[in-house]
Structure 1
Amino acid sequence: EKEELQKAWLKSAIEDLETAKDLFRLTRFSGCLFFCHLVIEKTLKAIYIKVNDTYPPPTHKLINLANLSKLELSTELKLYLAEITTFNVEARYDIFKEKLYKKATKEFTKKYFDITKVLFIKFKNLL
């Protein structure tokens, strides 16, 4: 069952990565960033299951998930995860959406979409 749960989280992360790619192509940049967050969150939750042998906690905070999964995080990686975490909050709640729309330029979104792809591969290789 543990392996099935890991596979389910990873499969969902892969689907979300494809969705992020499609949204970027369609210039739906804030949506792309939201899905970037989902990709990393779901991949970290798969790692959490592997490391802790239990279902992951209901959190969207990527640094917390990484720490609970006993991952060593560089300062740079912590900064990326902190920024990517904001995409979840800012996309979900109307009072924060304007902030995400303003920063979700093509250049900013491409940067974080590229970072997401690199992190996805890095984290996936830990499974």
Structure 2
Amino acid sequence: MRAIAFFAVVSVAIFVTSQSQAQDAAAGEKVFAKCKVCHVVDKDQNKVGPSLSGVIGRTAGTHPGFKYSKAMTEAGKSGVKWDDATLTNYLRDPKAMIKGGKMAFPGLKKDEDLANVIAYLKQFSK
């Protein structure tokens, strides 16, 4: 019985550890290289995509001066705010989270890349 309890605790610990990734902003800057064709983080200037300066905590589809898709605007109206969880979900598969959105990026598949790019974005949030 003790052995079963021990393995249950070890299994949960391994699961929790694998689910929470350490965030490395420097590594995230390298991942962000895939994004900077369309986005900036260090100013409020929009490019093909909206500026991601201050994106953490922002309501989806609300950066001033950017023409969002109807789907992204509706996501914002329904309460989508950008935080670790929503950004992870969105950046993993943008088309799955916001159906009808216009972001062409296929997504980041590695949990480590997702955690790191979010850490990088946090540096530019208010």
TM-score (norm 2): 0.27
Query: Which structure has the highest helix share of the two?
Result: 1
TM-score (norm 1): 0.27
Quick check: which has more Rg, 1 or 2?
2
